[in-house]
Structures are given as structure tokens and as C-alpha cells.
Structure 1
Amino acid sequence: MTAPAQRARAAPPGRRVLGALRHRNYRLFFGSQIISMVGTWMQSLALPWLALQLTHSAFLVGLVLALQYLPVLALAPVGGVIADRFPKRSVLQLTQAAFILPAVFLFVVTWNHTVSYWMLVVAALAWGLVQMVDVPTRQAFAIEMVGREDLMNAIALNSSVWNAAAVIGPSLAGVVIAFFGVAPTFLFNAVSYLAVIVGLSLMHNLPRLLQETTRQPVQRRMVEGARYVRRDPVVGAMLVVVAVFSLFAMNRLTLMPLFADQVLKVGAVGFGLLMGAVGLGSLSGALALALMAPQPSGRRQFWVGAGWAAALLAFSLCRYLPLSMVLLFAAGLCQMLFLATANTRVQTATPDRLRGRVMAFYAQAVMGVGPLGATQAGALASFFGAPAAMAAGAVVAGLVIVGVRIFWPAVFTMEPSEMVA
């Protein structure tokens, strides 16, 4: 392990505030992510907007969005094998270069006015296939930049960038589309990946963590990762809890337009306020983790998970906009604290040589089940209304986390020092 990583592991708790930024390699990564994530969020607004203009179909818009994450759900373990087999920095350099291709393709066809819906489908699938490798590699690479002691701080700072870009990117994209059309948003996203490639290229003295060197079939490597998740009672159960919350709590935000229009009757302005409250809560949670530098406590994870479910349940019963915003702020705050803690605890408990594969399962739990969660939430809302769909999801998530706490208490009582592999 390098000297910076050793200093991070030996640093006293009082010095871990923004501790990840003390590492030069992470500062390079952090700075490049600010640029890249803005570009990603610009494209995330431009793609469904373009799909709507071409098809005027809500279903086809949703299909394009779902296709971006379908490869993560189906094939993320393959990406995890790649992350464990090859140097993670090199893999990330290749994925960033690969991300440029669909963005440039979309820029060219929109600029030339030759774009068709099937082209959006191809670009979305291509982006998803790259994401399948990029996500587990990116997650597992964090500990190589900062060490175990500053891992949670790095995750919090990454989340801060993601949430800040979620505000800046779509806003900037809206202005660009209004004045110059949709094509420049794809060009900006393509160029933004160059910042990450440059940042990765400037890194040095990365620790040489244990990697898979034996030539085993991909299927056997995947089975080895799955076997570890199944046999480790804490990691396996935690991934199940995260998947349940992703399925029944996190993706309930797809119901926000219905709440704004039909339940609270506050229109587009109210819809923006509701989504803004969630985003502000998530950003506040990320900044709190980054500035306060707490230890990744399992007990805290349980309480913020329970608070997340309770806030969503209370929101489903609320008919007053200001109180609804407060409850969604609390839900966003708890969501960020819960996921950041889960991410840190899973990575801390996992052996270096398996981290990519385990984080691939984590990516499936957080991102892969997203389209399924949005679909079942919409189906429930169609039959029983948005409040009932929101309440049902919150109750299921709450019952699961309480059940795990009762029947598998080690999941939320074992602390990082006891989980280190």
C-alpha cells in the first residue's frame, strides 16, 4: 500500500473531515467527476426529451430510459469479473473512452437531423453495456485511491458531486436545448468524459491490491463472487435489504408527477418543489457525511433506513405541500445516509480480490432493479392510486428492515472493525 493510503489508515478520527481530498489521486478523480457528471445529467435530460419529440409516447420514452440500466441488471457480474481481473484504472480509462461513442453518435445524427427512435434505442443499450463494466469498477476503485479509513468520505463526496450535478446538469441542458437545440448536449457529454480520462492518466502510486491472476473461466469467477455473497451473512443480507429499498422505496419517486397533479394539486411548480426537496435532502446527507466524517455504523444504517421508510409512509398520507416537502427532504436525507453507509460497509467487508464482483451485485441491487421498481410502482398507482402505491412500498421496506434487524441482528450490529476481511 502506498504512503498516502497508509497515512489515511493511521489518521486519527478528528483528521478525517474531507479526508479523501488529502489524497492526490482522489483529488484528480473528484475534479474530473464534477465535469463528467454535469455532462451525464445533461444527456439524461436530453435523451428522454428527444425520445418524446420523436414518438410522443410515454411508454417509448420509458423504454429508452429502462434500456440504459437493463445491462446492469442482467450482466453486472460480468463487469465485476473484469474489474477484479484487470487494473481498475485501465478499465475505467477504457470505459470512459467507450462512453464517448454513443454520445458522439447521438450528436451527429441529431445535428444532421437524421435521428430516428431506433438510434436512441441503440445508443441507450450501448451506454448501458459500458455502464455494466464501469459501475462495479468505479465503486471498487475508490478504496485504491483513499484507503479504508477515508472510504466513506470518498463515497460521500462522490454523492455530493452526483447530487450537485443533478441540479446543474438538467438546468444547463434546458437552457442549451431552448437556445441551440438538443445536439450540443450530447457533444458536451462526449467532451466531458475526456476530463476523467486525463484525471486517471495523471494518477500515480496507486496501491497494488491483490487481483485475480489465474486464468479461470468467466462463469467460474462469477460463481465465486456469488458464493461469497451467499456465504457471508452480513454482506448477503445487506445486499438484499438494499435491493428491497431500491425496489420499494427509492423508485417511488416516479410517482411524484401523480402526487403533484392529482393528490396535492400543485401543478408543475409544486412538482419541481417536491423533487427539489428530495434532491436537497440527498445533497445535505452527502455533505453531512463528507464534513462530519462519521464511522460507517450499522446501527445508524438501521435507524436511517427505518426513517426513510417512515418518511415515505407519512408523505403518502400528507395533503399539505409544505409538510410534504419536509417529509421528502427527510426521505432524501435518510436515503443518502443509508446507501452511503451500506456501500462503505460492503466494500470494507469484502476481500480485495473479490471487491469488483461483490460491487457488481451491489450495482444490481441499487441500479439494476430500478426499472422494475418504477414499473411496479406505476402499475400499483394505476389500480389503487399514487398514495396507496407509495404507502405499500414504504410498508414493505419498513417491514423488511425491521425483520432483518430482529432475525439477523448482526447485519446492523457488526461494526467495520469486525467486518474487515
Structure 2
Amino acid sequence: MNARPEGAMPKIATRFLDSFLPLRNWNLRVYLSGQAISLIGTWMQVTAQAWVVWSLTHSTAALGVVAMLGTLPILLLGPWTGVWADTLDRRRLLIVSQTSAMVLAITLALLVQTGVIQVWHVYVLATLLGIVTALDMPTQQAFIGDLSGMEQLRQAVVINNMLFQVSRMIGPALAGLVVARLGAALAFWLNGASFLAVIASLIIVRAAQVRRTGAADLSGFSEAVQFIRQNPRAQDLIVFTVIVTFFGISVMNILPAVASQALHGSADVLGLLMGASGAGALTGVLLVVPAVQQVRRTGLVVGAAAIWTGLWLVVFSASTRLPFSALAIFVGSMAFPVVLTTTMSTLQIMAPPDMRARLMSALLMVSFGAQPLAALMVGYSAQVLGALSAVRANGLLMAAGAAALLALRPALRSWEVHSETHGEVEHRQDTREFQLDGAQTVEV
């Protein structure tokens, strides 16, 4: 009776260690090292910028405007940026985007350092950074696969998301210390300097990219839309991601109100809630994602993760005590990376090699690009119903939406990503074909 448990632990440990196998790749290791430093700087700027806007305006509306301006370009420019990232040299595009972001960070640092900063300056810089981000995000996601190779793409995406979650915890904490003791300008200077690490890594590494042939126009994006229309499982993954990001990420915008109104705290309580959420997401990337990637019923697992997150938001909304609230948001956040990581890696595996960036762009457009609308809706709900009621509504809608998708798509519940993609990467590279749901073969 003890044989199975004794064998289970080594198996789990092996799966966990296997998640880091892509780090044997020198190019990927160099790039991710630079990216890790840059991400910490980015989160420092996000935190310091919010503090600067609040200090200038004392307006939550102004904070919302900055968030909107930073994400709206993803929605508006997505069709073009995905095509560019599939047609042009992704490594050079990333050098351009990272250099541009560095210049914007230094500009903000100079404005704050000299004391001439005004809120409209932040609006303009946030918009410009949003434009850069619209190009950078799909390019960066596809570039990970260029470095790792398709066989280790899923593990490489997990590692990249792991770095994101770690930086999400370290960056704001460092920014808080820097802003409080040395001023916000230094946080922006440090972010500007952090870009040197990722730019240097991009200059050093070499990647194997399969480029799209043809003009870099919107006809290329229509090919990605056609792929999604013809592939029900790609549609399902995108819908799951939209549900989780629309109803989940937007909740973070009203956490200050939850900390103040429901938990009767201040910035320290908000920091604990944000930290608990980040720690939960990091735990999910480290432990949950490697485990669920071994489960065959991918569609059912992703749907269950979305339902889990939604239900724990409901539990969170029922609490008025900090320890229980922190525990609820920690546990709920553990499943969040399951949806994002599985979707980003699986879509790239399913797609032709020269379409990966366009698919990432389409995904980012309808998920993160919709954040301005999501933030507006949850903010209005919190104002009318109260912060906890708004969180509860979002949690219920998330769980109900995911459950409805599973109920309405029977094939999704038994879908296995491994069976669909096994051996097809090499086949697509040779024949320029991809398979839809194991049945129809479509020429690209």
C-alpha cells in the first residue's frame, strides 16, 4: 500500500525539475537573465509612477486614465504588431522596443528629478509606453519559442512567467523603499538602467526564427483570425483567458478600496493583499502549472482553474478580516497562471511556426487590450454596489462563464493537447500544414 506514495514523490520532483530543462539552452538562459533584471525595473516604475500620479492629483480617476492609456494601444495596434513580429527579425524588434522603453523611463526620471513633472506628462509617456508594449509583448512571447525550440516551449513559457511573478513581488517592494527614502526619480533611473541588461542579452543571443513571407500588412493578421475561426480549441483557450483576465485582473484595480473600506486598513494592508496575490501566482507557476501540464484533459483543467479562481474571489469577498482575506486571494491566485501559461504555450505549439506572434497578438488584444473596459466596469460596480460586492460579482461571473463554456463545448472537456500536437511540429515545418482538432488539414 505504501508503494504508490513512495514512488509518487520522486515522480512529482522529477516533473518539477523537468520544468527547468530549457535553462540548459545557453541563449535562453542569457536572455532570461537580462529579462529578469529588466522586469524588476519595470515593476519599480509601475509602482513609482502610480505614486507620482497620486501625489500630483489625489485622484483615482487619474490612476485609471494612466492604466487605460497604457493598455489601449495593445487593442488598437495588435493587428499590425503581430504581423511585424512574424515578418521581421524579432530579436531586432525587441532591441528597438526595449531601447524605446529605456528612453521613456529616463525621460520620466528627468521630469521628476527636475521637479517640472505634471500629470499630462505621465499621460503622454504612458501612451508612448503602451505603444511600445503593444509591439513588445507578442514579439517577446514568440521569441521565447525561437530560443527554446518547440519541444521545450511549454517549459520555457513557464519559466518566463515565473520570472514575471518573482519580479512582480520584488519590484514593488524595492520601489516602495526607494520612493520613501530616496525619491521617485531614482526608481525611474533604476528602471532605465535595468533595460541595459536585457538589451545586452538580445545583442548576444542568437535565435532560430521561422519568418512569414509576404508583405507586413493586415492580410497577415487575417490569416491568424482564420486559424482561430477554424480551430475550436484555440477559440476555447482564448475565451478562457478573456474570462480570467477581464474579471480577475480588473479586481486588482479596486483592492485599495477593499483594503480601506472592508479591512479598515491603509497602504500596508494593500501591500499585504498585493503580496499575497503575487505569492499565490508564483506558487502556481512553480508547483501547479508543472503538475497540470501532465494531465491529459487540458480543456477540463483550464476550465477548472478558471472556476477555482472565480470561486475564491467569492470567498475573498466574504471576508472582513485581513488574515482570511490574504489567504483567500493567495489560494485563488494559484490557479491564475494555469490559464495564462497553458493558453500562451499551447496556441504557439498548435500554430504554424511563422504565425506564433500573430496568435499572441490576437490573444493579447482581446484579453489585456480589454482591460480599460474591464477596469471601468468594476470601478463603476464598486462605486454603486461597494468594493466587496463588485469582487463577488466578478468572481461569480468568472466561475459561471468558465462553467458555461465547459458545458456548451463537450469536446473541450475531453480534449488532450498532447495528442493533438505530438509529432506535428516537425510535420508542419516540412509540409506547411497544421491540423485542426485531429481531423481537418488546412494548407497555410
Matches within 5 A, 1:132-151: 132-151=134-153
Question: 1:311–1:330: 8 Å Cα contact kept in structure 2?
Answer: yes
| CA RMSD, Structure 1 to Structure 2 (Å) | 2.1
Matches within 5 A, 1:124-273: 124-204=126-206, 206-209=207-210, 211-215=211-215, 218-273=217-272
Letter of the 2:223 counterpart: E
Shift of 1:393: 1.3
Counterparts of 2:273 and 2:178, CA distance in 1: 24
Of 100, 103, 116 in structure 1, the residue corresponding to residue 102 of structure 2 is 100
Q: TM-score, normalised by structure 1?
A: 0.91
Question: 2:100–2:132: 8 Å Cα contact kept in structure 1?
Answer: yes
| Identity fraction in percent | 29
Q: What corresponds to 2:55 in structure 1? A: 53
Q: What corresponds to 1:7 in structure 2? A: none
Q: TM-score, normalised by structure 2?
A: 0.86
Structure 2: gaps of 5 or more residues: 1-13, 422-433, 435-444
Matches within 5 A, 1:346-385: 346-385=347-386
Question: 1:16–1:293: 8 Å Cα contact kept in structure 2?
Answer: no
In the superposition, relative to structure 1, how do residues 415 and 149 fare at CA in structure 2: closer, same or farther (>3 Å)? Answer: farther
Question: 1:153–1:293: 8 Å Cα contact kept in structure 2?
Answer: no
Shift of 1:313: 1.5
In the superposition, relative to structure 1, how do residues 240 and 291 fare at CA in structure 2: closer, same or farther (>3 Å)? Answer: closer
Q: What corresponds to 2:319 in structure 1? A: 318
Counterparts of 1:54 and 1:14, CA distance in 2: 46
Counterparts of 1:261 and 1:14, CA distance in 2: 39
Shift of 1:52: 2.0
Q: Deviations over 1:12-48 (max 9, x none)?
A: 9797231121111110111101210111011101112
Between stretches 288-297 and 18-27, larger displacement belongs to 288-297
Letter of the 2:35 counterpart: Q
Shift of 1:403: 1.4
Letter of the 2:275 counterpart: G
Of 115, 131, 134 in structure 2, the residue corresponding to residue 113 of structure 1 is 115
Q: What corresponds to 2:8 in structure 1? A: none
Between stretches 71-80 and 251-260, larger displacement belongs to 251-260
SS in 1 for 2:396: helix
Counterparts of 1:52 and 1:320, CA distance in 2: 27
Counterparts of 2:177 and 2:320, CA distance in 1: 33
SS in 1 for 2:151: coil
In the superposition, relative to structure 1, how do residues 263 and 138 fare at CA in structure 2: closer, same or farther (>3 Å)? Answer: same
Letter of the 2:248 counterpart: A
The alignment covers a number of residue pairs equal to 407
Question: 1:18–1:293: 8 Å Cα contact kept in structure 2?
Answer: no
Counterparts of 1:196 and 1:253, CA distance in 2: 28
Q: Deviations over 1:285-334 (max 9, x none)?
A: 11225765834733322222211111111222233432222211111101
SS in 2 for 1:68: helix
In the superposition, relative to structure 1, how do residues 269 and 184 fare at CA in structure 2: closer, same or farther (>3 Å)? Answer: closer
SS in 1 for 2:150: coil
Counterparts of 2:80 and 2:358, CA distance in 1: 8
Counterparts of 2:114 and 2:160, CA distance in 1: 36
Question: 1:156–1:289: 8 Å Cα contact kept in structure 2?
Answer: no
In the superposition, relative to structure 1, how do residues 183 and 322 fare at CA in structure 2: closer, same or farther (>3 Å)? Answer: closer
Letter of the 1:212 counterpart: R
Shift of 1:266: 4.1
Letter of the 2:273 counterpart: L
Q: What corresponds to 1:19 in structure 2? A: 21
In the superposition, relative to structure 1, how do residues 226 and 17 fare at CA in structure 2: closer, same or farther (>3 Å)? Answer: closer
Q: What corresponds to 2:403 in structure 1? A: 402
Q: What corresponds to 1:309 in structure 2? A: 310
